[in-house]
Amino acid sequence: MWNNRRAERLFDQLCETWYEKVLHYLYFSLRDEQSARDAVQEVFLIAWKKRLELLSHPNPGGFLFQTAKHFVCKARREGFRRLDHEPLTADGELPEQADGTDAIEQALDRAIDENAYIEAVLSRLSADKRTLYELYYLQNKPMAEIASAYGLEEPAVRMRYVRLRREIRTIAAQVAEENFLF
């Protein structure tokens, strides 16, 4: 009984001292807030289950970080395993992962007239980037042909398209925020 109360006090102290630090470590390692919050809960659940053993542990904080490190490694292994089985898209990228909000997003997307906003997005591109967009996406020119026309190596042109897609996503998010968010 006495050890149990002492273990509970130790657990409370661990939470007060280490929760934010372990959460920060997990966020830094996983680069995703929700995954970090889920993992930190798991770490402290394990600590709760082992609270009696932690009474005699020489470094309870180290135990928490070691447990967090195991969660990071596990998450990475699972991620690599998932990636290993994912087919690449035609442009050599991984397909976007579905999450629980897909049905809601699809319903909202159906309500949007995309054609009305494509020009709003493309008009924010520089003339050079818009030409690049048109060559590949509208005129369906091969990368090799575009590279030759620009006097560049094909990998350099591919990188330009990676950056262009990133910029278009950012602009599209801005247009969506200006026009669709309530």
56 inside domain: yes
* CB atoms closer than 10 angstroms to residue 46: 16
Give the per-residue pLDDT at 103: 52
User: Within this chain, do residues 77 and 8 fall inside the same structural domain, yes or no?
Assistant: yes
Same domain assignment for residues 115 and 75: no
Which residues, other chains included, contact 158 with Cβ-Cβ below 8 Å and sequence gap of 6+?
143
Quick one: three-class SS letters along 36-77?
HHHHHHHHHHHHHHCHHHHCCCCCHHHHHHHHHHHHHHHHHH
Whole-angstrom distance, CA of residue 179 vs CA of residue 171: 12
Task: Specify if 96 maps to a domain.
Answer: no
pTM of the model: 0.45
Q: In total, how many domains does the chain have?
A: 2
Query: Alpha-carbon distance 112 to 4, whole Å?
Result: 58
CATH number at residue 108: 1.10.10.10
Give the pLDDT confidence score for residue 101 in this predicted structure: 47
Same domain, yes or no: 111 and 67: no
| H/E element, 155 | helix 154-179
My answer on whether 19 and 60 are in the same domain is yes
Tens-digit pLDDT profile for the chain (182 aa)?
Answer: 557 788 888 888 888 999 999 998 888 888 888 888 888 899 989 988 888 888 888 888 889 989 988 888 887 777 666 655 556 666 666 556 554 445 545 554 555 556 667 888 888 999 999 999 999 888 999 999 999 999 999 889 989 988 998 898 888 888 877 765 44
Confirm whether 95 is domain-assigned. Answer: no
Determine the structural domain holding residue 57 and report its residue range.
2-84
- Please tell me whether residues 19 and 59 are part of one structural domain: yes
**What is the distance between the alpha carbons of residues 10 and 56, in angstroms, rounded to a whole number?**
11
Look at residue 89 and tell me if it is in a domain. no
